[in-house]
A and B are shown apart, each in its own frame.
Chain A
């Protein structure tokens, strides 16, 4: 009996090394199995990133609106809210005196009226060919109250953007442009901006020429793609002199109780609805939850298929190595040693697949985001896929846990082989 060797403190490393070498004996088969796991993990990580990113994007978009409550014309509140978050057409309007009736409510901390219209950019942009968007969202705002609501709005600085400022309330030919709109139109401070506005009731659009007096810094919200002008001027150009699109309101105390109280008082006004933005958020999330459930089901199926692939691969490997396993047993391997070896092989496939899948998900997150945005209107601006270390951690952990359980059967089969039969089968 061997006497002159000591216990090996790195025994696990030796098992890992042997498991790795065993897997490398069939590189194509191992590679395909790892690819299957990687694909499933890519789907799972992308889905997790989407769930997290979308929720965060909604939060950010709503927070960056600056107000907690909106009063708007009756209609689908969520369509209207979505429009407010990301822009759109099909606008409904409030009677202009709603502002006067609401602004003195005792629970209101601040309030800002907003008029939104859609203008055509005929001939205004050097990019108006082909697929380029032909519409610009015009936001008529009351600058003092709008600035209170959104104190983070600042003007872009640097060459061509110096001396950015807001327009005065009666300025008829000045606009401030959001960051992305300015980039898209390639406009700087002092440039001319053209917008073709169709007045309400008129079949023909009217071309207006404006001077850009300021370009806003990026906010990551719909403001980035908006062109701002004085609210009264916007109402005049759109021929809706006594109408509003929304009233943005910040309450002194924001709670569901206060919101209900405020809603009760406001709903006495004709043709209005009160929408709490938390409610909008919940609804937007629920709107995509069905799609998320379906994607999650697809991801789960992909994971199950990948796991079956892993089990199949390891079982094939075990059957191919029947004789070898028998000989290992003859050489002194206990059942536990064989179990450990085969189990490690399974875990390694899952771990490598999970890491590869996570990398693929991170690298491809931009593509996934573009695909999701192309397929569905999610009602938010900014990034909707956010792959965090926690998302990756959960995915890798999940894959290893699946490998943990998936490896049990092949490992048990291998360790249960009787050496004499295993050796004779392989002979």
Chain B
């Protein structure tokens, strides 16, 4: 079984601002495997979000190759990229982005609507249980705490059964204790075989990952193996 989910070589992303070229990402090589947690650290403007956008097919690289689940995404149309994302990637964002008029369960089931699939209440209950929100299914987002909203966002990503969860600053709007609980949830999910790619400003959270990558000026300046990848061995 091929356990490589994302494989990037020489990824570059340049922006043009007038006559100036901004090198947001300048040649990054990266591989992410099933069940591992990879954190991307670095100061603001180092290229963390740009890298995560490229790896999750939300943006196209200026140069380099990117394979998602073994498939090259170069030159794919927007709708083809949607298909790639649907099959492999789940997303969690810093600002939660739950629809305020939908209940927790409806928010979780929202991606299924875009897929034209019928929601399975059993499956919804299952993912809510995974994130510890079984008793909040009928609540509106405004009735939840920040940590609970982020858990709903995680459940919304999990309903699609992704192979990798991409989380951009998932603890950015949370206090330390709540942020820690989210990291622990990620660890639990990773132990069940889900790969997790997250960006964070907080080194303490970053070093909870299996692998911590530090970016500066669009380049990887440090890659640290934090702990042995037991999951890999299992596979």
By a beta-carbon cutoff of 8 Å, the part of chain A in contact with chain B is 1-11, 14-15, 18, 21-22, 24-25, 323-324, 327-335, 337, 418-420, 423-424, 426-427
Contacts and interface: CB of A to CB of B under 8 A. Distances in A.
Contacts of B101: 21-22, 24-25
30 contacts: A1-B88, A1-B161, A2-B115, A2-B159, A3-B161, A4-B120, A4-B123, A5-B120, A5-B123, A6-B117, A6-B118, A7-B118, A8-B116, A8-B117, A14-B113, A24-B101, A25-B100, A324-B99, A327-B93, A328-B110, A330-B85, A332-B111, A333-B114, A335-B78, A337-B113, A420-B58, A423-B93, A424-B49, A427-B94, A427-B95
Contacts of A327: 91, 93, 97
Contact of A7 (B87, B111, B117): B117
Contacts of B100: 25
| Leading 8 A-B pairs by shortest Cβ distance | A21-B101, A8-B118, A333-B114, A1-B87, A420-B59, A5-B117, A420-B58, A327-B97
A328 B101 CA distance: 15
Contacts of B58: 330, 419-420, 423
Contacts of A9: 118
B95 A332 contact: no
Contact of B116 (A7, A324, A329, A418): A7
Contacts of B110: 18, 328, 331
B66 to A, nearest CB: 14
A21 B110 CA distance: 13
Interface string B53-65: 1001011000000
A139 B156 CA distance: 83
A330 B120 contact: no
Interface residues of B, number: 38
Contacts of A10: 118
Given A334-B82, A420-B58, A2 B113 contact: no
A323 B93 CA distance: 11
A278 to B, nearest CB: 60
B79 interface: yes
B99 A426 contact: no
B116 A331 contact: no
A118 to B, nearest CB: 67
B133 interface: no
Contact of B113 (A18, A418, A424): A18
B123 A323 contact: no
B155 to A, nearest CB: 12
B99 A331 contact: no
Contacts of A330: 56, 58, 85, 91, 93
Interface string B64-103: 0000000000000011001001111001011101011110
Given A5-B123, A418-B59, 16 more contacts: A1-B86, A1-B161, A2-B115, A2-B161, A4-B120, A6-B117, A6-B118, A9-B118, A18-B102, A18-B110, A21-B102, A323-B95, A323-B97, A330-B93, A331-B114, A332-B82
A329 B120 CA distance: 22
A15 B114 CA distance: 9
Nearest to A11: B116
Contacts of A324: 97, 99
Interface string B102-141: 1000000011111111111001000000000000000000
B55 to A, nearest CB: 12
Contacts of A335: 78-79
A337 B86 CA distance: 14
A90 to B, nearest CB: 66
B118 A332 contact: no
A6 B123 CA distance: 12
B53 to A, nearest CB: 5
B4 interface: no
A332 B114 contact: yes
A328 to B, nearest CB: 7
B8 interface: no
A334 B82 CA distance: 6
Given A334-B79, A426-B95, A427-B95, A328 B114 contact: yes
A332 B79 contact: no
A424 B58 CA distance: 11
Contacts of A333: 82, 114
Contacts of A15: 113
A196 B208 CA distance: 108
B48 to A, nearest CB: 13
B231 interface: no
Given A1-B88, A6-B117, A329 B82 contact: yes
A5 B58 CA distance: 26
Candidate in A21, A419, A426 with the most chain B CB atoms within 10 angstroms: A419
Contacts of B119: 5, 8
Contact of B53 (A1, A6, A332, A420): A420
Nearest to A21: B101
B56 A332 contact: no
Contacts of B111: 331-332
B185 interface: no
A15 B116 CA distance: 10
Contacts of A8: 112-113, 116-119
Most chain B CB neighbours (cut-off 10 Å) among A10, A324, A330: A330
Contacts of B112: 2, 5, 8
Given A331-B91, A332-B86, A423-B58, A337 B114 contact: yes
A155 to B, nearest CB: 65
A190 B161 CA distance: 92
Contacts of B53: 420
A331 B156 contact: yes
B160 interface: yes
Nearest to B97: A327
Nearest to A9: B118
A416 to B, nearest CB: 9
Contacts of B102: 18, 21
A320 to B, nearest CB: 12
Contacts of A334: 79, 82, 114
